[in-house]
Structures are given as C-alpha cells and as structure tokens.
Chain A
C-alpha cells in the first residue's frame, strides 16, 4: 500500500523577538518520505543559511555518507552554494575576521522506504537515518519510545558536537556520521529535534516523565511556542533555537473501484456494508481500520454466501423428498 509522510513542523528562535536570528532549519518531502533537520551553530557566521542549504540538499539528493567520494562531492557542492551567497567585501571587520572559518551545522536526515521482501516484518517500512552532531530522532509507537538516534542519553549533549563546516578546513576526515537502519510501522511517530528539545526529551524519558508528542501534534504553532517559552523560563529547556519536526507514516488508500451496476438496485435503498460502523468509528486511523473492515466484509460475505448455499441445498432435498412443497412457516 503506498505511503506518505504526514508532517508537522514547529520552530522558535532563541530570541522570540528576533525571529530573523533563527539558525535551525528543516525540510520535508512528504511524497518521497524524507525529512531533514539541522542546527546552525550560532557562534558561526551565516550558519542559518548553511543549515538551510544542508537540509534542502539532504532532502533532495544526499548520498550515503559511507560512499566517501560521492559524499565529498555533494558536500563540496553545498559549500560552493554557501560561499556564493556571501559578499565578503561588504562585511564589517568582525564578520570579515570570522568568515574564513565559515559556518557550522549539525545534520540529521531520515527516510522511510518500502521494506525489503526479506525483511520479514509484515506491514513494516525501512527506516534509514544519518546524523552528524546532536540533533536527534525519536521513534515513538503508541506513546512509547522505541529508540532515539544518534543520542541515547541526555549526558551526551554536554559535549560539543561534531558539525559540518561550510568551509573546507581540511578536517573532513574527522567527520563521522551515525547511521540507523531499522524498521518502522504505519502510525509510528518519527520526531526530529534540535539539541535543546532533544535534551529536554531525553531527560524526560530518563526520569519517566514522557514527552507527549501526540498532544504537540494537535497544537497550533503559537500554543507550542508558548509552551517552549514557558519551559525556557523555568530553565527546563536551554535558551536556544528550538525546532521540532514530527512525521507520521500514513498509508494511502487505493481509490475505490466502482461496483458493477445491478439492474434492480437503482430504486432500492443501498444496504449498508455489514461493518460500516468500524469505518465510521475509526476516523483518524483510517488506513488500518479500513483494511480490517474490508477483511471482515469479505469474511462475512463468504459466510452469508455459505449459509445461502446450505439453505438452497436443504430446500432442494426437502422438495425432492416431499413432492416439491415448501416447508411450513415456523410457528
């Protein structure tokens, strides 16, 4: 069954009064089921643009980082794009001094692929993710954390992350991407966060105070921002650009094939399908429920056809035995 990614994206800059200072970035391609998040290092210059270039490119055509030659060429292309957008001559002294170091950013991208036939997990999709730095993916099923990637503990966020630079400082050999190759299921929630929110969430999982992502999914942007601002105020969340991308694998129903017309059915009230109530009760979880209902419709149809066949056979025997008279009406 074809699938797409439903997505919700929330953002709040470190300084809510200055949204132009926001230096995280995210991108989602729902149709190709790929999404990316990046955290531009605020102490570097034009890192928001660098983070944006990286996420767009990751969603577009990022190669597997393990393919070193391909990846180096891809990275060089993005660096060129970043450099072309900077007019060095127009910068003041403090930006000119910083420019040679370039911008830095984390990068995490995730892709949901059709499962390989050999995977053996019925209904599963392949979940493939690559990450450098401390942006984090949480895979959540019915409110329970299945896994976090690449971070597992909040303590890992204490260290300075390894990041991708927009200038080749001859240190690319130090770049080490983490790779996740797992499965996910329809209705799994894939949550991508930049570091401040990731640390808050990991602390929550560690202390048993589970983040309620489903509630966040239904929130308007402004309500979510108010909650983040409150968490910052209470110092539960670090003052930092904050980005949350939530993805849900949604299966798309095939378009219904119209039933062949029945000559006598034109004026008749169409009989409801035996298990229509499941469909109506299961709005929001339609794909799975629809499948169940279809299965049960087909089963009950087979049962009804079987009963009719038994009844016909019994009538035939009765008529043969008692001179083609119908049985008496029941009392």
Chain B
C-alpha cells in the first residue's frame, strides 16, 4: 500500500534520528550578528537548549521515552590541517556517535544554574528565578572547515542507522556553519547524504549559515536567485526541499514560504538559528 512520504509517526518502534553537524572552525570565535556573544557560544546555547527541550518533551511518567537517537558532531582541523571530526558531546556521553534521548536526558555533562528574569503577572515586577540548565556541548573554535569530511562521516553513520531502522521517519541532519568548505566541493557529499532513504523518505539535510554582521537573513528560500554570494548558493543546493509536512508547519507558524522552499537559513542570528532548529525538527509526526 502506498504511503505519502514523511508521514511515519515517531514511536519506540519507529524512532527518529537527528544529527547535528557543528562547524567548530576558528571563525566561530567571531561574534554572531545582533549579539555580543561568540558564534560558538550562541551555537552551543542553541544546541543545549534543543537537547534540553527535546528531553523534557519526550519525558513521561516513567522517564524519557525512547523515541529518538541524537548525534552531535563537531568538525575542525588541527594545526597541521588534519580534519578532526568527533562527537561534540561532553561528560559521560563523550565519544558516543548516536545516543538515545533517554541517555541524553539522563547524562548531561553538568547542570548549571542560571538566573531567569520573569515578569510577575500580579505586580509587574521582574523576578529573578534560578533555573537549571543542563549542558552537553561546550563551545570550541579552532582550525579550518573540513565540511566534506564531516558529510562523508555523516553518510556512514546514517547508512548504519537506516539499516537498523528501515521503516522510520528518515533522519534529519542539521548542519550549522559560518563559512565555506575548505576540503572540496560539499555538494556531491550532500547529495550522497540526501540519497539515503528509509521507506518513509530520503534523509533531510538542512543548512544554517551564521552571520557575523546584522545582515538581512534568508530563511527557507525557494530559489537561489537573490542569494547574496556563492557560499549561500552552495548551501542552497546542499539543502533538501522542505517536505509537505514541514512546509505546512512552517506556513502555519507564519513563515511566508513558497512551494519548493529549502531547509536553509543564511545570515542567521540567534533568533533565526532557534527558529531554524525548531522548524527543521518539530514538523515530524509525533513531535508536535
């Protein structure tokens, strides 16, 4: 019987898989557009926030439901320009390739306490409320940008995962970078990754470019016309077209998308990055 692609519900039997590929090159030391914080700091804040939210959302009465596997990889080079591709997870999960969400929730590297500022509904005063912030990933910024090596490893990781989960919603890869590949043309590697498929559809590759300047962001473009430079066009062609459920979800969230919009953001600031992460990962059935 025919089933529309990208409709498989996420469950324990049909787990989801999210793979984050983080640029850890030296340029991530620079501040993010519209922020005084470094790109690498903002990036790990967003990723740790995503992991925290996902662990909370997947939690039930008896702990965290085992509905997804997550991988967080960083890529950079050493001083001799050798690629370093490794799991960015710290603490008890360091070195792990893909980790189930119950393991993520159960083993953060540490839990920081931060102050949250919340308005008091009754008095209008701003209250300082301590809150727990679990941390899995720490910032890193050194060396070059071996993007092709990263995409090649991602292909290996997901080939193996798909073989074990052939009926699942296909893996979603979220790649976040601030610059161009320094080890070749990444488009063929991206195409190979997107050619992987479960019975429910092809692997989805979404790319987000972090901006140094407060330039106008491009979110989910449907064409490469009007994109500001060659890097933007390369990322556009690397990115998957948003499948129907993602397209509908984005439109429902107020994004003025065109048909054939791609999972790409360019010149993203922190707000765009978080929106991008949410839009790219929450439209899968069962995650809303």
Contacts and interface: CB of A to CB of B under 8 A. Distances in A.
Contact of B12 (A17, A94, A240): A17
Interface stretch (A43-51, A106-114, A124-132, A198-206): A43-51
Interface string B142-179: 00000000000000000000000000000000000000
Contacts of A43: 57
B47 interface: no
Contacts of A94: 52, 55-56, 59, 64, 105
B121 interface: yes
B61 interface: yes
Interface residues of B, number: 29
Contacts of B1: 234-235
A45 B61 CA distance: 6
B61 A93 contact: no
Main secondary structure of the interface of B (DSSP, over half): loop
Given A45-B61, A98-B59, A18 B288 contact: no
B34 to A, nearest CB: 28
Given A45-B61, A160-B288, A14 B11 contact: yes
Contacts, number: 55
Contacts of A48: 61
Contacts of A160: 288
Given A45-B61, A98-B56, A235 B11 contact: no
B132 A45 contact: no
Nearest to B12: A15
A183 B14 CA distance: 44
Interface residues of A, number: 27
B59 A45 contact: yes
A42 B121 CA distance: 29
Interface in A93-123: 93-98
B286 A95 contact: no
A299 to B, nearest CB: 57
B62 A20 contact: yes
B60 to A, nearest CB: 7
B105 to A, nearest CB: 5
A97 B65 contact: no
A262 B131 CA distance: 88
Contact of B56 (A14, A21, A97): A97
Nearest to A97: B56
Nearest to A42: B60
A97 B132 contact: yes
Contact of A239 (B11, B60, B62, B108): B11
A2 interface: no
Contacts of B288: 160
Interface of A: 14-15, 17-18, 20-21, 23, 42-43, 45-46, 48-49, 92-98, 160, 170, 234-235, 238-240
Given A46-B61, A95-B59, 8 more contacts: A14-B11, A15-B11, A20-B61, A45-B59, A45-B61, A93-B108, A93-B132, A235-B3
